[in-house]
């Protein structure tokens, strides 16, 4: 897990985030890094490739690697950022209210989205997220019970992801997000501090394990004025 190139990657990332490495400056060259870490060039290059993928540096043939000027508050960008990570970054006082926590039989909607049969059972979790005193996000999560045998209110109030990855040891592989804007539902209006808005931003999230089985479906419903999504993209080359 703690491969050499991952250590190099993590060290450089924290140096950039701490400001020890100046944005817009040149990163050490590959050969310097080889000596510094006593590794082969390929190992250095693996670390640099990850840094480039994640938007920390830009590599230029014949010149070197420039450290990009990342606005820390926008970062990280297109990760699997959960509410807990998000709220830690935003700072403001946050709370989570568990409105519903139950095992349900899947309806057609769930069978379509979660790849479960009508004999399986599914955890349904409905949570309201409050930031700075305002109820802004309505999260509806569905898990296949096969993977998550037990679930408690306490876990839901904290971070379900942490429980799943650390306690259950399930390995999340990848996720697909779809963002759309819809008319707000009665449920949205009932649970959220809605003021004058009649639309809602819906982020559908499909989470897959490393063995490619679909494991969780989440709908995250955001008050439109508070929604913000940042994405970093590279040309395919």
| Residue 134 · residue 193 · CB < 8 Å | yes
Query: Is the Cβ of residue 85 or residue 187 nearer to a copy of itself in the bound state?
Result: 85
Minimum CB distance to DNA, residue 33 (Å): 8
Task: Select 80 or 103, whichever has its Cβ closest to a copy of itself.
Answer: 80
Q: Name the H helices within 19-162.
A: 30-37, 41-53, 83-90, 108-114, 153-157, 160-162
Site for DNA in 63-82 (CB under 7 A): 63-65
Q: Is 7 exposed, middle or buried (0-12, 13-18, 19+ CB in 10 A)?
A: middle
Q: Is the bond leading into 76 cis (omega within 30 degrees of zero)?
A: yes
> Rounded to the nearest whole angstrom, what is the least distance from the CB of residue 165 to a copy of itself in the complex?
9
Please, which residues have CB within 8 angstroms of residue 74's CB and are 6 or more apart in sequence?
230
| By the rule CB under 7 A, 236 interacts with DNA | no
Task: Give the interface with a copy of itself as residue ranges (CB under 8 A).
Answer: 6, 24, 53-55, 58, 60, 66, 68, 74, 77-80, 171-182, 197, 199, 201, 208, 210-212, 224-225, 227-237
Does residue 32 belong to the site contacting DNA (CB under 7 A)?
Answer: yes
Contact 30, 44 (CB under 8 A): yes
Interacting partner of 181 out of DNA, a copy of itself, none (Cβ under 5 to 8 A depending on kind): a copy of itself
The residue ranges that bind DNA (CB under 7 A) are 3-6, 27, 29-32, 38-43, 45-46, 48, 59-65
């Amino acid at each position: 897990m703690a491969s050499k190139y991952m250590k190099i990657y993590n060290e450089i990332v924290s140096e950039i985030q701490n400001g020890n490495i100046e944005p817009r400056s040149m990163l050490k060259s590959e050969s310097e890094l080889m000596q510094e870490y006593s590794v082969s060039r390929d190992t250095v290059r693996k670390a640099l490739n990850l840094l480039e993928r994640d938007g920390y540096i830009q590599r230029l043939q014949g010149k070197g690697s420039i450290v990009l000027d990342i606005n820390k508050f926008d970062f990280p960008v297109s990760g699997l950022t959960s509410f807990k990570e998000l709220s830690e970054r935003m700072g403001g006082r946050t709370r989570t209210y568990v409105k519903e926590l139950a095992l349900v039989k899947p309806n057609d909607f769930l069978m379509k989205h979660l790849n479960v049969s009508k004999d399986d059972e599914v955890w349904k979790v409905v949570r309201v997220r409050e930031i700075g005193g305002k109820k802004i996000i309505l999260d509806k999560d569905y898990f296949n019970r096969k993977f998550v045998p037990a679930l408690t209110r306490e876990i839901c109030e904290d971070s379900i992801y942490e429980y799943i990855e650390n306690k259950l040891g399930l390995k999340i592989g990848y996720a697909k997000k779809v963002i759309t804007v819809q008319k707000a539902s009665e449920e949205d209006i009932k649970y959220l501090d809605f003021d004058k808005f009649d639309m809602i931003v819906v982020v559908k999230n499909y989470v897959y394990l490393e063995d490619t089985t679909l494991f969780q479906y989440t709908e995250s419903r955001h008050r439109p004025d508070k929604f913000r999504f940042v994405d970093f993209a590279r040309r395919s080359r």
